Amino acid sequence: MPEIIINGSEGRLEGRYHHSDQKGAPVVLVLHPHPLYGGTMNNKVVYRLYHTFAQNGFSVLRFNFRGVGKSQGKYDDGIGELTDAATALDWLQLQNPDAMTCWISGFSFGAWISLQLLMRRPEIEGFVAVSPPANLYDFSFLSPCPAAGLITQGDRDDVVTEESVAKLAGKLGSQHGSNIEYKHIAGADHYYRGVEEQLDAVVGEYVLRRMQDFKQKRKVRPDRKRRQLPRD
């Protein structure tokens, strides 16, 4: 789990990177909670997401947004943080030019940033959003949601309301051609304290199933190429 430094628009970004030994391994970027409320790449939920993806064969990058830890700069109301995430994804893809697929994941504020990046990067084909703060931020940009994904939420969360997340998941799931799964985790507060293994199991099962389906489709259609569109 080596420390890496990425050159960001405001200076260095501090990260941790796991490189899979599998040829053509999928890649995923994992984003942390709000920088002004103690969010870092070492948050327990982020750390567990990182390891769950690594255990399922992904090359995984997590990093600190600007102004957090050793990352330079200062908090920028989500605008600069989205730029940081795009820069980190660029770095991850440069290390893995033959990756079979690209995913994004985030917890709380990180989920909000991750889904914005999803809308801007057509190469992202899957996501895991843990407790996206639907009662605190506008998610109307997901119109429509361009990739299949998993959304999780706890019923004892006193930061993000279960009702708002269930409503968001239902809205996304009703869009034509969408494939959104919503998992309610009983007994989970915002930080999933005491039910961490249940979160691991939910995310791990989803990732494993999606990757098995993806690999099967590749066998059926070996010449399939991922859609590439111009970036903004």
CATH number at residue 103: 3.40.50.1820
Query: What pLDDT is stored for residue 203 in this prediction?
Result: 98
The residue range of the domain holding 34 is 3-220
Task: Encode pLDDT of 21-77 as tens digits.
Answer: 999 999 999 999 999 999 999 999 999 999 999 999 999 999 999 999 999 999 999
Whether residue 225 lies inside any domain: the answer is: no
Within the chain, residue ranges assigned H as helices are 44-55, 79-95, 109-120, 162-173, 196-220
Question: Which stretches of the chain score pLDDT less than 50?
Answer: 224-232
Query: 60 in a domain, yes or no?
Result: yes
Domain membership flag for residue 229: no
Domain-embedded: residue 231? no
pTM given for the model: 0.93
The token duo for 148 is 């299949």
pLDDT at 74: 98
Scanning the structure block, which residue is given the tokens 């099962």?
A: 205
Q: Residue 226 has what pLDDT?
A: 47
Q: What is the largest CA-CA distance in the chain?
A: 48
In total, how many domains does the chain have? Answer: 1
Q: In the chain, helix, strand, coil percent, each to 5? A: 35, 20, 45
Q: Let me know: does 92 contact 61? Beta carbons within 8 Å.
A: yes
Calculate the alpha carbon distances from 185 to 44, 49, 176, 200, 207 in Å: 17, 16, 26, 11, 17
Integer Cα distance of 31 and 33 in angstroms? 7
E strands along 116-155, which residues? Answer: 124-130, 148-154
Question: Scanning the structure block, which residue is given the tokens 């994992």?
Answer: 30
Compute CA distances 170 → 36, 145, 165, 192, 227, whole Å.
30, 12, 8, 22, 26
Please give the single-letter amino acid code of residue 69. G
Q: Determine the pLDDT at residue 217.
A: 81
Reading the block at residue 37, the tokens are 């409320």
